[in-house]
Structure 1
Amino acid sequence: MTYTTNTADTADTKNTTGTVSTADRASTMDTAGTVDTAKATDAATALLAAVEAGDTARTLRLVTRMGPAERRACLPALRALRKELRVTEPWGARSNRVRPALHLAGAACHTGAASAAAWLAATDLRWRSAPGKLLVEALKDRDADWQTDVAFRLAQRPVSARVSYTLMAGLVSRAGCEAPLTDAYVTGWAQHVSSCWQEKDGVTERLRREPHLAALVGGLFTLTDVSEVRWLLSGVADWPAALAKLAREGVLDRAALADACVARLLRGGAPTDHQAFLPILLAVELTREEERERVADWTAMARDGVVAVASHAQKVLAGLVLDGAGDGGARLTTLQLAEASEGLLFRPEKKLVRAQLVLLGKVLSRDPGTAADLLPAVARAFGHEDTQLQERALKLLERHARAIGTEELRTELAEAAEQLTPALRARAATLLGITETGTEREPEDDVLPPAPRPVRLAPAPHTVEELAEEVGALLASESGVAAFERALDGLVRHAHLHPDALRAALAPVVAKRWWASSDHPLHARRDALFGHAGGLTAPQSVLDLLLAVLHGKADAATLLDAVRTGPRRHACPHNALTRIFDARFRELAYRLHTDPPPLLLATPTWSTGLLEPGELVDRLAEYLRLGARVCASDFAQALLRVRRDDRTAAAEAARRAAALGSPEGERLARLLGTELTLPETRRRTKGVRVLLELAELPEMREGFPPEFRELGDPVPVFTARGCYYHFGRHIRPHWLAVLPEGREHVAARLVHDIADTAVDDERGDGVLPLLAESEGEAGEAVHLCVAYGLGARHHEDRLAAVDALLVLAARGQLDPVRLGADLGELMGRGAVKPQRLADAARTAAATAANATIWEMLGHALPVPLARLAGARPEAAAVAARGLGDLLAVAADCAERSGAAGRPGALGAVPHLAETAARGGSSRLVAQARRLRQYLSGEEAA
């Protein structure tokens, strides 16, 4: 007799406690074959009872006594139990008790290799899985091919699946197959071996007993992701010593181990991957002859490897050079040394470049006949960004100038000398006797990148299908202002014209949302859609709210209450911007439920958020034609976005708006007759920070809804700063679209956050380039934000500040004097570190903005130089930290832009002469002298 069952009915069969009974599950069997019904039912009932009790030992005994048909007959009930646990109590005590036995029973009852592997590696069973030894025991009666198949399928899972190594290794051992060299298997093996490092036998003995040792050790060097084993290989388990010992004993092939290390170090990878493999190479202790055989490898490592790897390769090459003669002459040929040097001298690490120049100097002193090959390599350092290294290379050339024997070599060195600074070029010209390598060079004008131009928004999607695709994409990823506003306008227009078609097109998108499967109406899930702290936190949350309303997951009372209550008010500078964003969509959600508007008034014309006044008049006229009621918050947002800087267009739009005869038209006409007022600011200090306080702005309070009036309130510095519900980064680009023609208003509220990237080393949100691309005057607040960004802790935040600086410069809106003064004040207070500013300035100067950067740094340097001059000896080292790097960038920019000869350029930097007069040859003093000499014209003498 064959049992057939409906598993869906099984899942719904509940006892009085709300769970499926063991007897009910047993009755749902589909044996897929002919078995003794009573016997199968009894076996299934007993198995399910053992699983429910969490008794893995009993479960193992039961499944090992079953035949294949009986095991298959138990699968529907086991799947039903698994689904029940996953849905009703995924993390409860019952789940923790049942899952190990369920994991074991399901693995044993699956007779197909693919389905068994899928069950064994299932995510919901992984956290409370059965012990690997029990699983191997449960599968011991399967044939070798089946066990091999399952082992390899499990091994092909990602490392993050955390498949039990004991299980995989047990299957491999029973099947007698080769070990699978996948990331999951090799990583699991390394972790298993390392787990015994404190035991008596230790790692070495466990490795010695491994039957697949050579293959698995080779697999370590081919891992895609080393992060899971890096700390094991280089940590307390002491793998390097163990592997080296086994190689010396002949258990491992020593040459193969060394080749694998070298190949992996050449391959590279993550910045810290070398920490796993370089110690192994060092432990192997290659002989000089073995190192000589790998000269090409050391050369490639020295050129392209991470610092630690390049440093080791450099030491090996230096050893080969300095060891003297060997079989057939020098252990490293001159040409090989020159090739390695050319790559090394281009590296940014100063320590490596200095060491290589020292090595070249030793070789040249020992054998002057190598000059023809090595001096061109020395000249590679003429192009290094560090001028002290340039001078060191030039001194080496001066020391061995007598060895320059041919005109061809002299010409080659003269061409390389063109990369030197003006003062060093003059010395090189004198040395080489070539007059055409003069000290004068045409000043380099700034070549700024083209300023980004705003893009006009495309019309809203014409069809509901196109709109649904765009909404789905917005829900799946972050979006800019343009894409978000365009999709919103499309939702509103189609909801007004054909809501049924819109809902049908959105069905595939909505089906994936968390609120779509809930039986609760929106009023029961209000906190989830309106924000747990009472606010809409991101564009995705806005879309979720509007889609939920369109699909009937709301009632009018809940939505009206959300409008009346409004977003909560918090004491932080950006709350005014967020409340405007929030309030607009609360009202829109209520209107979509009760009286859908025909279109949005505040949809921008441009990607920056600006709205052309003529378009707003046209939209108001359409509302009048349709007799539609205007959304107050949408209209208020439109007023904040409307362009007013084009006075001719504003005047024409004001005339048309007044002719409409509606209250909204009259309000728009009055607004277009005025210009946006900049906020009055007061500079205040708070700790090491320099911040801005905003005074009250009455024009932002009059005629606007309550949530908008906060924009005109004063913003003090000494107030609570918690961002509460709008701490996420997704909303910040939309703050600029709230007031797109008033970026000073926005920047003044962002100063404290951007200051945190420099003072507290926090990560920024990339808002500075958007601030630079926005409209309105770039005043004190914008420049102060850029100043903090240039001193940010993280490189990507400094890059964002450099982008903002270049955009402002390209648009003619950058004031280098103001920015330099801000940077000087911040460095003087310790809010910006000179070394970070030097990195940002060097990046900006590399775009050929030398004149701009010099003017900025020329006004920034006096404050830190004065601080250094007045510092006590014990504090001078702190005051000087990073200042040499900043002076080097300033000197580079001054020389390349021809600052000394430009009309109106800085002739001297206060306190620079005092720094240059300090004793010693430190980088700070050397760069101060270089800059002072150039500005005073001494280098031309």
Structure 2
Amino acid sequence: MTAVTTESIPTAPEQLLERLRRRHDNGDLTGVAALLLAITEEQRRAVFPHVDTLIRSIKGDAWWQGDRPHAGALGLIAIGTAPTAPKAMALLTRRGMRDGWGSIPLDHLRSVLHARRPPWLGDLATRVCEKLDPDLAVWGGEWELADTLLRESGTMPPVTEAVVRGWQGAITRPERRGTRVPMVERLRDSPYTDLLLPGFFEIDGLGNGFPVREWDEAAKSWVSKPRFALSLVALAAEGRLDRAMLLDGAIDRMLRGDRPGALRTFTALHDALAPTPAELAAHALDYAQLLPAGSSPVATLAQRALRTVDDAGRLQLETLLDASAGVLLRKEKSLVKTQLIWLDRVARQQPGRLGEIVATVAIAFGHPALDIQERALTIVAKHLPKLDADDIARLADEAVQLGGDLPARAAALLGTTTPSPHPADRAVTLVPPPPPAELPAPIASAAELAEELTSLIHHETAVGWERVLAAVVALHAAGQRTALADAVRPVLARDADVFTENTWNPRLRYVFLGETLRALIDEEPGRKTGVRQQMVASVRRAWQDGTLPGAGGVEDNPRGVLGLRVAEISVQLLRAPVPVLLATPTHVTGSLDAETLLTRLMRAETENWTPWRIDLEQSLVRLSRNTAPSVVSRAAALTGEAGQRFAAWLRGGGLPDPVSTLVEQRTPEKKERSYWWGGPERRVVVALKPAAPTGLLLESQLLHLDRPAHPSYTDPDVDDLWVTALPHHREVTAAWALPMLAGLADTDLKGGADLLPQLAEAEGPVGPALTYALAYALGARHEQDRLAAVDAFLMLAARGTPFAAGVGAALGDLAAGGTLTVSRVVGPLSDIHRAGASAITWELLVVALPLLLPNGARALPDLLELAAQVAPAAGAKGSFPQLDVVAGRTGASRLVREAKRLHSVLNQ
């Protein structure tokens, strides 16, 4: 530590602060601590009132410049000079300081605290614990600060989520004081274990923090090693922890539910405890609740526990039947098959209650999988001779749920007539979605604009942007400069980082909006960066000579149009103001009514103002494809340049659909790949080019799309701003977004398929881009994306748009080549079928199956099984050659069995 002699220590607080500031600026944390140790307590307290000034002098990116964050040294100074806990906390929670708690040097802090011994340290420790961030407590080093304060003061922490998470993170780290310490020892030695461990069972999501597998270098594989669970069990064996508390806590956590990943630790703990039959029997009702309702691993655990209780002769039949009623409809076939086998055995053991047991088995007639239905029907047939007439009549009622070829088999077995295939399903008519909603009323005041700005920052939407941009132009035209200044200035100050270009904010549309607002209220403009100046120059060039060179910082996709529009407002609003934007849509989809645009252009000619170039172009490409003849004739009377262009646009039929061309991308050889690329071997995307010259500045931004030979990683950063730029040309938007949508299926991307329902609500023909987009999303890795694809599929079907055959062809192409996983597609298609769109589901399947049958893709039997359910509901008849070949094979493979089933259904 840097030596500090008594003679070298200044006496005035300002001089002491200046000495501390210099060491802080140099990143000399040792010197800061040495000086704090060398001065007296009175000197420390005298310095404290000036520390706030030093903290306030650091702004923006400066907090994180240099080798160490400033908050580390400043936090040490704040705690080392504060007179009370509240005053120390006031500085620690200032903006900039709050994010740097993890950078405070703890060894130096302990030295300073040992020298000061402040009586309020326990109060400060509690306050810091109460302000911990649940995420930063684990990964940002915040818990280490809190732990230091707690240990130095001898205080116990409050039991909060952030505290438990921080303690959990410290327990899972294998390092302590430079040596590896077993987790069981860390738990045994921690002063917080008894206090915080119960919170581990009570707070959602904490199970994610403990790995249950480790890499075995010798075996070169992952092996099950739930160290936390094993450590808890070891401490219970020592008597350090209560075994009953651990078992009750694990089961209670599973009952209350959580994400499957977060429950792995609790299932591992349950298994590590190895409950005895007596312990399992005491929780039989809990397991009976988990079996139908728990996640798949939890339900498997519960099923195994109940089987053990039953084998011990301690399970009541009522409990088993109640649990079975729910589990027999679960999607996990292994669970259902195990339950059916169990019920079959119990039926043989308890003939006096055979009717109840077989009636429970018949619940599986309603399972979506035909092989489960078939297994249940086989069990029923086995016990049928011992059932009375009433039991058989009840089974016949349940048998109406059977699908595929099973209704005929059930009718022969039960002595009933074969029901017509799903007549109710055939009668279902999908209801078209309502017309798109109109854009909300315009923002009427500066105060309302400030509220909408705040909302836009935290939740960016196309509707929000349109309302804000329209209000900025309209309120400026109305002369509300003073009101704008009063309302907007606090927003610009509070969210300066959003409206100023910096390394953390690459979204130039917000930067230009900030520049526009500052100009309107006579505030100092932000930094003039090269990117911003290039964009300004591009917009001015467009205004002056009708060209739009590449604008730096503008996204190369349809959302980039918004950036150009905001830049145009920033450049033109004070130079050539207009009272209204032409492109503000009339509907939330981005669509603009031609009558409304005509009215705006007539106003421009009456009031003698010139519409802006990019604003005009955005308005034109937002027009509907069908314009009333009266609007076309009235537009012909316009005399201004913008009006005449509008009239010519209408006469020409608007924006012609560009040409969509499929492009097959291939991953290069391994030696040529980027080091990070782990994507697909093959990806199909779409290139675009205009069908004819459009004369649009935005033509290259919207209609020119080339694709490279190799696939690339694409973030799922797609939103409604893409759709609203071209609301009547959804194929164009789909083409731009297709690499991202493909990544949902062939990489680990998640989230982005929400774009598809928006495209389904938009207008325009469906081409290869949208059909491949739907195919990729139906086979997406994550369920939320597959659900979005189902919603889009049903919306398009309800609107009568022809598209399903194209999706089937795309799906067959991708799945046959291994890009799509067939098993992921089966669930979404089943959902579409059950929603009443059986005919259009068959339209897809009858195209996809001939492409898949020749190569026997994995999970193809599941798809054939689904087809056997869909075909009767769709009224489909007649086979096709590829199916005939597979159905004609000998053997008992599931592929052959399901092909024979579908063949039988189609030829009944």
Give the TM-score normalised by the residue count of structure 2: 0.83
Query: Following TM superposition, by how much is the alpha carbon of 1:48 offset from its aligned partner in structure 2, in angstroms?
Result: 7.8
Native 8 Å contact 1:320 1:332 kept in 2: yes
Deviation at 1:740, TM superposition (A): 2.9
Range with bigger deviation, 82-91 or 795-804? 82-91
Deviation at 1:712, TM superposition (A): 6.3
Q: CA deviation at 1:892?
A: 1.6
What secondary structure, in the 3-state scheme, does the structure 1 residue paired with 2:103 have?
Answer: coil
What's the CA shift string for 1:542-595, capped at 9, x where partnerless?
Answer: 533432443455699988634245665499999474565444443332221212
Equivalent pairs counted in the alignment come to 850
Q: Which residue of 1 aligns with 2:471?
A: 490
- Give the direction of change, closer, same or farther, for the CA distance of 1:404–1:935 in structure 2 (3 Å limit): same
Residue 188 of structure 1: how far off its partner (Å): 4.0
Distance 1:206 1:602, change over 3 A: closer
Say if 2:788 is the partner of 1:800. Answer: yes
Residue 183 (str. 1) matches residue 154 (str. 2): no
Q: How many angstroms does 1:211 deviate by? A: 5.8
Distance of 1:656 and 1:357 partners within structure 2 = 73
User: C-alpha distance in 1, partners of 2:108/2:639?
Assistant: 84
Do structure 1's residue 626 and structure 2's residue 589 form an aligned pair? no
Deviation of 1:353 (Å): 1.0
Q: Which amino acid aligns with 2:448?
A: E
The correspondence for 1:114, drawn from 79, 86, 96, is: 86
The match for 1:544 among 494, 510, 514 is 514
Change (3 A) 1:203 1:800: closer
Partner Cα separation in structure 2 for residue 109 and residue 574 of structure 1:
49
Tell me which amino acid in the other structure corresponds to 1:617: L
Q: Does 1:261 align with 2:250?
A: yes
Q: Are residues 1:754 and 2:754 paired?
A: no
Q: Does 927-936 or 839-848 show the bigger shift?
A: 839-848
Alignment of 1:775 with 2:755, yes or no, is no
**In structure 2, how many angstroms separate the alpha carbons of the residues matched to 1:597 and 1:415?**
71
Matches within 5 A, 1:475-554: 475-480=457-462, 482-501=463-482, 502-514=484-496, 540-541=510-511, 543-552=513-522
User: Does 1:738 find its partner at 2:709?
Assistant: no
Distance 1:47 1:559 in 2: 44
Matching residue of 1:872: none
Letter in 2 for 1:306: S
Matches within 5 A, 1:151-190: 151-156=125-130, 157-162=132-137, 180-190=158-168
Quick one: which of 320, 343, 347 aligns to 2:330?
Answer: 347
Q: Which moved more, 1:598-607 or 1:546-555?
A: 546-555
Distance change >3 Å, CA 281–CA 805, structure 1 → 2: closer
Determine if contact 2:536/2:571 at 8 Å carries over to the other structure.
yes
Indicate whether 1:639 and 2:616 are aligned. Answer: no
The amino acid that maps onto 1:218 is: P
**Alpha-carbon offset, residue 614 of structure 1:** 2.4
Q: Counterparts of 2:596 and 2:58 in 1: how far apart (Å)?
A: 57
SS at match of 2:881: coil
Q: State how 1:783-932 maps to structure 2 within 5 Å.
A: 783-865=771-853, 867-868=854-855, 879-900=856-877, 907-932=878-903
Q: Which residue of 1 aligns with 2:47?
A: 74
Partner of 1:484: helix, strand, or coil? helix
| 1:372 aligned partner | 355
Shift of 1:628: 0.9
- Trace 1:704-723 onto structure 2 (pairs within 5 A): 704=696, 706-708=697-699, 715=705, 717=707
Alignment-mate amino acid for residue 652 of structure 2: T
Match of 1:382 among 351, 365, 370: 365
SS at match of 2:573: helix
Deviations 1:138-164 (A, max 9, x none): 2697688x4543443333333334366
Question: Offset of 1:399 from its aligned partner?
Answer: 1.2
Residue 679 (structure 1) aligned with residue 658 (structure 2): yes
SS in 1 for 2:206: coil
Q: CA 1:177 to 1:78, structure 2 compared with 1: closer, same or farther past 3 Å?
A: closer
Equivalents in 2 of 1:101, 1:560: separation in Å?
41
Cα pair 1:233 1:276 within 8 Å, conserved = no
Aligned to 2:220: none
| Alignment partners' CA distance in 1, 2:21 and 2:225 | 45
Which stretch shows the higher mean deviation, 222-231 or 338-347? 222-231
2:236 and 2:35 mapped to 1: Cα distance?
45
TM-fit CA distance, 1:596: 0.6
Q: Is the contact made by 2:202 and 2:253 (CA closer than 8 Å) also made in structure 1?
A: yes
Between 110-119 and 392-401, report the one with greater CA deviation: 110-119
Match of 1:219 among 199, 212, 216: 199
Please give the TM-score of this superposition, normalised by the length of structure 1: 0.80
Deviating more after overlay: 459-468 vs 882-891:
459-468
Match of 1:7 in 2: none
User: In the aligned structure 2, how far is the partner of 1:48 from the partner of 1:588?
Assistant: 44
* Structure 1 residues 155 and 620, CA gap change in structure 2 (3 angstroms): closer
Q: 1:197 Cα shift?
A: 7.7
What is aligned with 1:697? 691
Q: Aligned residue for 2:305?
A: 316
State the structure with more CA Rg. Answer: 1
Distance 1:94 1:686 in 2: 43
**Which residue identity lines up with residue 290 of structure 1 in the other structure?**
E
Q: 2:284 touches 2:309 (CA, 8 Å); kept in 1?
A: no
One-letter amino acid matched to 2:881: P
Matches for 1:36-435 after TM superposition, within 5 Å: 54-55=30-31, 58=34, 61-62=37-38, 66=41, 71-84=44-57, 89-92=62-65, 102-117=74-89, 123-131=98-106, 134-135=109-110, 138=113, 146-156=120-130, 157-162=132-137, 180-195=158-173, 202-209=182-189, 213-226=193-206, 229-231=209-211, 238-323=227-312, 330-405=313-388, 407=390, 409-421=391-403, 423-433=405-415, 435=416
Shift of 1:633: 2.4
Superposition CA RMSD, Å: 4.0
The answer to whether the aligner puts 1:667 opposite 2:667 as a matched pair is: no
Structure 1 residue 91, shift from structure 2 partner: 3.5
Checking the alignment, whether the CA contact within 8 Å between 2:75 and 2:104 is kept in structure 1 is yes
CA deviations over 1:425-451 (Å, ceiling 9, x no partner): 333334334x36745542523432432
Taking the aligned partners of 2:431 and 2:161, their CA distance within structure 1 comes to 45
CA-CA distance at 1:773 after TM superposition:
1.6
Structure 1 position 179, deviation (Å): 5.7
Structure 1 residue 25: deviation in Å? Answer: 9.8
Aligned amino acid, residue 912 of structure 1: L
> What SS is found at the alignment partner of 2:64?
coil
CA contact (8 A) 2:201 2:249 kept: yes
- 1: CA distance, partners of 2:21 / 2:731: 69
Q: Residue 474 of structure 1 contacts residue 540 of structure 1 at CA under 8 Å; is this kept in 2?
A: no
Cα distance in 2, alignment partners of residues 641 and 48 from structure 1:
58
Rounded Cα–Cα distance in structure 2 between residues aligned with 1:467 and 1:178: 47
The answer on whether the counterparts of 1:515 and 1:548 sit within 8 Å (CA) in structure 2 is: no
User: Which has the larger displacement, 110-119 or 389-398?
Assistant: 110-119
Question: Residue 835 of structure 1: CA displacement?
Answer: 2.1
Structure 1 pair 314/137, CA: closer, same or farther in 2 (3 Å)? farther
Could you say if the C-alpha distance between residues 86 and 345 of structure 1 is closer, same or farther in structure 2, counting changes exceeding 3 Å? same
- C-alpha distance in structure 2 between counterparts of 1:476 and 1:573, whole Å: 21
| Conservation of the 8 A alpha-carbon contact between 1:452 and 1:773 | no
Instruction: State the Cα distance separating 1:932 from its structure 2 match.
Output: 1.0
**Contact 1:621 / 1:660 at 8 angstroms: preserved in 2?**
yes
Q: Which runs of 5+ in 2 are unaligned?
A: 1-7, 215-223, 543-547, 667-681
Contact 2:23 2:29 in 1 (8 A): yes
**Displacement after TM superposition at 1:936 (Å):** 0.5
Q: Which moved more, 1:233-242 or 1:881-890?
A: 233-242
The aligned residue for residue 10 of structure 1 is none
Seen in structure 2, the aligned counterparts of structure 1 residues 56 and 343 have a Cα distance that, compared at 3 Å, is farther
Identity %: 30
- Segment of structure 1 superposing worse, 288-297 or 568-577: 568-577
**Structure 2 CA distance, aligned partners of 1:48 and 1:678?**
64
Q: How far apart in 1 are the matches of 2:535 and 2:241?
A: 72
C-alpha deviation, 1:318, in angstroms: 0.9
Q: Secondary structure at the match of 2:582?
A: coil
Aligned in 2, Cα 1:221/1:711: closer, same or farther, shift over 3 Å? closer
Q: How far did residue 219 of structure 1 move?
A: 3.3
Contact 1:193 1:207 in 2 (8 A): yes
Deviations 1:676-699 (A, max 9, x none): 433345555444445555454334
* Conservation of the 8 A alpha-carbon contact between 2:534 and 2:551: no
